Structure 1
Amino acid sequence: MIENTIPKYLFIRSVIIGFRAITPFSIFWVSFSIAEPPHTAWSRFLLGWSIAETAFWLLVYVPRKRSLQASAQHPPVLSREERKELFWRGWDKIPHPEYYLSRWFLGARPGEVRKENVREFFAWGLLNRGTESDEERRKRMQAYPEASQAEEEELNEYADGIETMLGRKLEPGWGSAKSLRLTTDAVTMSHRPFLWYMIVMLVDTFTAARLRYIGFTLFRTHLRSSLTIFPPRLASLATRHISSAPDLSYWYRPHTSRTRLPILFVHGIGIGLHPYVQWLGEINKHDPQAAQDGEVGIIAVEIMPISFRITSPILGRDEMCRQINMILERHGFDKVVLASHSYGSVLSNQLLHNTVTAPKIGPILFIDPVTFLLHLPDVAYNFTARQPRAANEHQLYYFASMDMMVAQTLARHFFWAQNILWKEDLRGRDVTVSLGGRDLIVDTETVGKYVNGVDLKGEDRRWKDNEWKGHGLETLWWPIADHAQVFERADSRAKLAEVLREYTTHKAEDDVE
């Protein structure tokens, strides 16, 4: 993320305004040229580009925006016992109750959130409801009176729990507040001009060249799958290696080490692997054991729907795990060190809860994870609902949150109850959680306290200075780092690479045990 300075603010706002102006200007120029045909080479070029931009908006964005509004396919509803356990498990991990309620209700004031609003919110969050009209609800209650009565009692229990947490009663009935319900709200996105996707293609080609230079090889998907990605990937034309996973491409650096584990890396939302190239190269470049033991292999999976491309929707949880497992089997890896950044922590969580892939996951490095304490509103609100003010917020909002496929991924394929990660899920593993003190998406103070077993409402800051030892559940704290900025600084990249190199040696310890 860019720094929050006045020059950076003016720069990012100018860039965004410029991109937003391209399509209206193109439509105007096409209309103007009908009345006054161009006479110079430059004006003819400008007309051709304007026609391309206008057609791209009209024939690609407009119909695709409509199709991406389709309803989410929710996972099966948890049992009543599982829902209640999930509610109460998160209930005592809410450090600021009024803030919690306000953010989930889009900044509403206390009097605007009443009991029925809270019941509606948990009907969505725990029962996967949200599109049901009053008439449909009435018919359902008449058709299934006993089940409906049980649900009403359950929702009342959740509302009572919120009242206890707040230390006050909720007013009866409906308030004016509207809750944030990602999977049922409209998918909010903004148009990207054709020029933007040409820039993405250029960056992708440059990234591919850099990855090839540091020893990685692209394993592309089959032609049919590759053709579903826009802009086209020129790097796919320069490789003969085909991914064993039908929908996942990846970059592979050969594993030649005789004693250590390979690494599996899953990136976050952004322009693919571009922000991570230097760090991925430094893992082996500064490895003191490489000369004697061989180099550590790295698989860097590409998740196209969160990489600013126009492509198919992101794979479901089980299919994602199945295809990543196919990649691991292709290279004969029965155990890996897992590293992930930001949204990649969600996919890491899915791998940890899959019966096939879980045994193959060794030590883990989470960098700027979004999956801890996901019942808190910060990640959902900051990424999808916050109105940007600072420079980094404008960068996040326009280039990430409002991207067509990113928005659709979060609104139709992101289920918080399925993706939340608890410390208990990591019991018995060596795990490092890297957190930035100025993260604009995650409440890293609260996550850090939770991971370190510190009172969430307390002022204990000693955990930030803990020395990293390489065993158990630990944190790395970067006090002035924003989201993803650890990859921009030499000291933080070096430490993260050191963590992974240490974790790869745990294979010998596991064999002894």
Structure 2
Amino acid sequence: MSESIPQLEEATAPSAHPHILLGFVLLWMVAEAIAYAWYRRRLALRNATPAVVPVVSSEQRDFVFDNVLDLGKYYPDGVWRLLKGWFHPSLAQQDLRQDNLNEMLAWAFCYKDTADLTSSEWQWVEKAKAMINDRYGYSPKPGRADVTTVRNTLDPIVSNYHPLSFYCGVVLAKAFGAVVLRLRGYHHYSSGRVWYWYRSRPALEETLVDQGESSEEVFVFFHGIGIGLVTYLTMIFKLKQKTQFLFEMPWISMNPLAEVVPDDEYAIDVRRALKDQGVTNTQRLCLAGHSFGSLPVVWLKRHCPDVFNRSRVVLMDPVCIYLNLPDVCLNFLYRKPRRLFMRFLRYIASEELGIACCLHRDFFWMQSVIFPQELPQGSTVFLSEYDHFLWRMPFAMSPPRRRVTIDSNSSESSTAASSKTEVLPYEILLLRGVNRSPREVCGQGAQKKRRQIQIHRIFRALATEPTIDLYELQVLAHSPMGFVNSGIRRSVWSALLGISNGGESRGQEEEEAEILSLQEVEKSYPIINTRRCSAMLENLCLFYLSDLCFYPFQHALLPGLDLSFALLEALDPELYHALVAADIESPHFAVPWVLTLMTHNLPTLEMSQRLMDSLLVSHPAIIYYYVPCLLIMHRDDILHVEPFDMPHLHQFCQNLPSTLDMPSLERLIGMVWLCVREVFPLAKLLRLKAARRMPRGSSIHSKRLLCQMGDGRERAIAVERRAKELIKDQRRFVSLFSGGKRLKCFGYATDVTKVLSVTAGCFGAMMSEAPSSRTTSVSDDSSEEEEGSFGDVFDALDKRCREVPLLCKLSDLLDVEPGLITSVMIAMMGGGLLVGWGAFMISTAVAVVNPARGSMRAIRDYHADPEHGAKQLERWLQYWVCLGGIILVESISLSTLLFHFPLWYIAKVALVLYLQMEKCPGRLVLFEWMRDIMGGSSVEMNSVTAVATARQSCSTERTPSSE
């Protein structure tokens, strides 16, 4: 073994790089420790330092409060919508007390605690409560409820440590963005304490501007929370304005060392920057801001009105308009995220030290709020429907409107004749979602362009593979215009009902039927291709109308009406109790609505088609949402019916659909979509007691729509399975004949006939030009294969989990299915085996078991073959020394530094497996490095050991024998 040591020294002597690498790692660990200590100190200092409250004039406070109160009338629950989110945990309106309201008003409009209010501020708080009582009749009872008021400038700062590697990545990204901007012709300047990027026109165009031959507007952009301008580069490079200002705000760009510039100083520095670059006082500006970047636009209005008044404003996901609501503050700082992506955003953005300190100590909402009527003419507001932080009901943002009345007797050369037109100073554009606002007024050019965009998005959603983009179609169906026209509806409705657009050509009789008496047919229902009609109606009855076609009224329809009435109780208890007091215990007046899908109740066929866009693209249970939403939309009219008794109410409510026009129908569709997506999801609806009375084969229990079931073969299997389920559930069927082809529908023939008579007209209007054939013959073997799919496995798991009472209670508490809870628990156990205590056990076993076996085998081989055994013993001794060093480092730094390293135990397993390899240069290098560290003190250790041994032997000789 001594002979192999020189060979080891020769192999490892020239390698000095590992020493440098390990030294760098140690240096980095020391830097992380120092940064962590600085972080804790900085956080403690900022928490101990109170916020510097700006001076709020009484005029500004009154102006903001009056506008906030005015917005309350646009919400269904009035001023309570503006108050309820500021208290945690949530409480009912009647449970709020005077002290809690005082605390909220004192912070919201004075930025103080109630104990620090002056006498004049206390008088204002009392006046504000009196105004709330006068306008909305709401006055809480005396006392204090056991809730906490959300006050971001007074609450402790919530932050998490971000490692140095994170900030190094941010610095590199910003450096990359700076290089790209310079390559594109931008230059970096400062104005006071504000830094910005600027790009100007070429010299020739500047001369033209001086001569008055060009009036191009100047683009001014403010970024949002993130890593600065680098995330906006693709948008910036597509801008057409040649004069651009890109202003920076480093205190919201993940720079904990940046100093926050006050709003008034920032606005003045922006104006100075414009003046320094030669922007004249008459030149038009385009002020654009995204998210937090919308606040500097408000600062310019407050402190530099001369700049704001000659600008148009473009706001993208604007925070400034929604600051009167608690949603922005709660979602970004307080509300516990439910999804992994939301948790990631919370850690990256909200809990970063610089951003958290800014929002908790240097952000005052009254200095940054703007109301829609304050926007200049020609402004545009972009809203993302499913923004994670903004409120998701843009149509409720209803500003005071300016009405322009135009005389209908004016000449044609004047403005277009119309009785009354609503004109807004801005335009709302809802991105990838639903814009339900009827107040948006667009020109013909903008409307045509929006129509083209809608059509493009529809066909793009249909072209996705392997199935259509159902969510995109749902968003489009519930947005204005729906599926636009009849030609597009042919394709979309066919895809939603599992019918292909191709097929065999039409027969001569069908073509002649379309030609003969066409005008007579159009008066009622257009001619439809019978093959396509049969296939579509079969799927419609199986998957959407099973409650109406396959069960008696008392088994499905009446329980469905009770379910819609229970939903009304949850959405509007006041209206529900008023109807119950009038002896309306079930909405029997809605039987025609549900039975005919409201198609016979609507005035025009166009409105029926528009409604079918929503019904076909959504879950079959959505029809039960339309009943309470239609009642809520007409609640004021219902509550003022005279006399207020059952016969008159029944007659009035039954005729409600016939009073709708297209704008009110669009509003109704928007209300239903919001209710399904946000207010009362389907999973919550199915947990109502009324839902338990629905039949087992009801369509409300469907997990997937037909269009989500893969290719044609899979859909055919699904149709066959659905038919078998209903046969098994009811044991009855009725055969109908349509166009010479047999159409099987189960249940009562009268019900099916009613449904066919109504729906055939709507489908006939859309499908009269597109023939198709459809094959539904499938084998039982295919159906058995489908049973083994993942969806069936999950359904079986969910069914078993519903038998466990504890899981059912947990499901009601978390508002998720029991099967999903069990799946998540299994996934967490698996994750624990990867990154938790299970990972520690696995990594320890990998590091110890095989080397122990190898060491014992080497000891045994040494007696049989000393030369070979010595090499193996040397190998495993080197490994144990290296493993000891790894365990030493891990025991010291695991709880402080290594937990920042993702999947550390997986990396440890890979490292020990690498060190266990027979030909492993890394093991030799690490062993040599550790021997060098220990070699300097080996002589000292040997001398100390010799002295101790000598003293022990001397004391043993001097001790007398016990004998």
TM-score interval for Structure 1 and Structure 2 normalised by the shorter chain: 0.5 to 0.7
Q: Is the 8 A contact 1:451 1:474 kept in 2?
A: no
- The reply to whether residue 101 of structure 1 matches residue 83 of structure 2 is yes
Q: Which residue of 2 aligns with 1:278?
A: 234
Normalising by structure 2, report the TM-score.
0.37
User: CA 1:448–1:314 in structure 2 vs 1: closer, same or farther (change >3 Å)?
Assistant: farther
Q: Which residue of 1 aligns with 2:258?
A: 312
User: CA 1:87–1:392 in structure 2 vs 1: closer, same or farther (change >3 Å)?
Assistant: same
User: CA 1:452–1:162 in structure 2 vs 1: closer, same or farther (change >3 Å)?
Assistant: closer
Q: Is the 8 A contact 2:223 2:247 kept in 1?
A: yes
Q: Which residue of 2 aligns with 1:185?
A: 155
Residue 277 of structure 1 and its aligned partner are, at CA, apart by 0.3
Q: Which residue of 1 aligns with 2:54?
A: 75
Q: Which moved more, 1:91-100 or 1:61-70?
A: 91-100
* Deviation beyond 6 Å, 4+ runs, structure 1: none
Amino acid of the structure 1 residue aligned with 2:200: P
Residue 99 of structure 1 and its aligned partner are, at CA, apart by 4.5
Amino acid of the structure 1 residue aligned with 2:25: L
Q: Which residue of 2 aligns with 1:246?
A: 192
Q: Which residue of 2 aligns with 1:325?
A: 271
The separation in 2 between residues aligned to 1:453 and 1:313, in whole angstroms, is 40
Q: Which residue of 2 aligns with 1:372?
A: 321
Residue 452 of structure 1 and its aligned partner are, at CA, apart by 9.2
User: CA 1:188–1:443 in structure 2 vs 1: closer, same or farther (change >3 Å)?
Assistant: same
The separation in 2 between residues aligned to 1:401 and 1:186, in whole angstroms, is 14
User: CA 1:391–1:212 in structure 2 vs 1: closer, same or farther (change >3 Å)?
Assistant: farther
Q: Is the 8 A contact 2:82 2:324 kept in 1?
A: no
Output one character per residue of 1:3-47: Cα deviation in whole Å (capped at 9) or x when no partner. xxxxxxxxxxxxxxxxxxxxxxxxxxxxxxxxxxxx965544332
Alignment of 1:402-481 (within 5 A): 402-427=351-376, 429-446=377-394, 449-450=397-398, 472-480=425-433
Residue 178 of structure 1 and its aligned partner are, at CA, apart by 1.0
- The reply to whether residue 175 of structure 1 matches residue 130 of structure 2 is no
Alignment of 1:34-49 (within 5 A): 42-49=21-28
Alignment of 1:8-157 (within 5 A): 42-58=21-37, 60-69=38-47, 70-79=49-58, 82-94=60-72, 95=75, 96=77, 97-110=79-92, 113-130=96-113, 133=115, 148=119, 151-157=121-127
Amino acid of the structure 1 residue aligned with 2:159: M
Residue 168 of structure 1 and its aligned partner are, at CA, apart by 5.5
Output one character per residue of 1:378-428: Cα deviation in whole Å (capped at 9) or x when no partner. 11111111111123422321111111111122122221112110133224x
Unaligned segments of structure 2, at least 5 residues: 1-17, 403-422, 435-448, 454-963
Amino acid of the structure 1 residue aligned with 2:88: L
Alignment of 1:254-403 (within 5 A): 254-256=200-202, 257=205, 258=209, 259=214, 260-284=216-240, 296-334=242-280, 335=283, 336-355=285-304, 357-358=306-307, 361-403=310-352
User: CA 1:82–1:215 in structure 2 vs 1: closer, same or farther (change >3 Å)?
Assistant: closer
Output one character per residue of 1:367-388: Cα deviation in whole Å (capped at 9) or x when no partner. 1111114211111111111111
User: CA 1:475–1:412 in structure 2 vs 1: closer, same or farther (change >3 Å)?
Assistant: same
Unaligned segments of structure 1, at least 5 residues: 1-38, 141-147, 220-242, 285-294, 455-469, 482-490, 496-513
User: CA 1:77–1:261 in structure 2 vs 1: closer, same or farther (change >3 Å)?
Assistant: closer
The structure richer in helix per residue is 2
User: Whose relative contact order is higher, 1 or 2, with alpha carbons under 8 Å and at least 6 apart?
Assistant: 1
The separation in 2 between residues aligned to 1:168 and 1:326, in whole angstroms, is 47
SS in 2 for 1:45: helix
SS in 2 for 1:92: helix
Q: Which residue of 2 aligns with 1:22?
A: none
The separation in 1 between residues aligned to 2:261 and 2:433, in whole angstroms, is 35
User: CA 1:360–1:298 in structure 2 vs 1: closer, same or farther (change >3 Å)?
Assistant: farther
User: CA 1:393–1:453 in structure 2 vs 1: closer, same or farther (change >3 Å)?
Assistant: farther
Output one character per residue of 1:251-294: Cα deviation in whole Å (capped at 9) or x when no partner. 1122345421221111111110011101100114xxxxxxxxxx
User: CA 1:360–1:450 in structure 2 vs 1: closer, same or farther (change >3 Å)?
Assistant: closer
SS in 1 for 2:160: coil
Output one character per residue of 1:430-487: Cα deviation in whole Å (capped at 9) or x when no partner. 2011111111111142367426959xxxxxxxxxxxxxxx994112111349xxxxxx
Identity %: 26
Q: Is the 8 A contact 1:352 1:361 kept in 2?
A: no
Output one character per residue of 1:103-135: Cα deviation in whole Å (capped at 9) or x when no partner. 1113421266311011111011112322x64xx
SS in 1 for 2:336: coil
- The reply to whether residue 217 of structure 1 matches residue 187 of structure 2 is yes
Residue 158 of structure 1 and its aligned partner are, at CA, apart by 3.0
Q: Which moved more, 1:274-283 or 1:304-313?
A: 304-313
SS in 2 for 1:188: coil
Output one character per residue of 1:179-237: Cα deviation in whole Å (capped at 9) or x when no partner. 11122222222211111110111111121222223332223xxxxxxxxxxxxxxxxxx
Q: Is the 8 A contact 1:452 1:474 kept in 2?
A: no
The separation in 2 between residues aligned to 1:42 and 1:312, in whole angstroms, is 32
Q: Which residue of 2 aligns with 1:459?
A: none
User: CA 1:447–1:65 in structure 2 vs 1: closer, same or farther (change >3 Å)?
Assistant: farther
User: CA 1:297–1:85 in structure 2 vs 1: closer, same or farther (change >3 Å)?
Assistant: closer
User: CA 1:82–1:262 in structure 2 vs 1: closer, same or farther (change >3 Å)?
Assistant: closer
User: CA 1:353–1:384 in structure 2 vs 1: closer, same or farther (change >3 Å)?
Assistant: same
Q: Which residue of 1 aligns with 2:168?
A: 198
SS in 2 for 1:372: helix
The separation in 2 between residues aligned to 1:448 and 1:63, in whole angstroms, is 44
Residue 247 of structure 1 and its aligned partner are, at CA, apart by 1.6
The separation in 2 between residues aligned to 1:280 and 1:391, in whole angstroms, is 30
The separation in 2 between residues aligned to 1:397 and 1:165, in whole angstroms, is 38
Residue 52 of structure 1 and its aligned partner are, at CA, apart by 0.9
The separation in 2 between residues aligned to 1:202 and 1:406, in whole angstroms, is 19
Q: Is the 8 A contact 2:268 2:304 kept in 1?
A: no
User: CA 1:154–1:473 in structure 2 vs 1: closer, same or farther (change >3 Å)?
Assistant: same
Q: Which moved more, 1:328-337 or 1:39-48?
A: 39-48
SS in 1 for 2:233: helix
Q: Is the 8 A contact 1:255 1:298 kept in 2?
A: no
The separation in 2 between residues aligned to 1:169 and 1:63, in whole angstroms, is 44
The separation in 2 between residues aligned to 1:86 and 1:439, in whole angstroms, is 25
SS in 2 for 1:300: strand
SS in 1 for 2:148: coil
Q: Which residue of 1 aligns with 2:948?
A: none
Q: Which moved more, 1:182-191 or 1:315-324?
A: 182-191
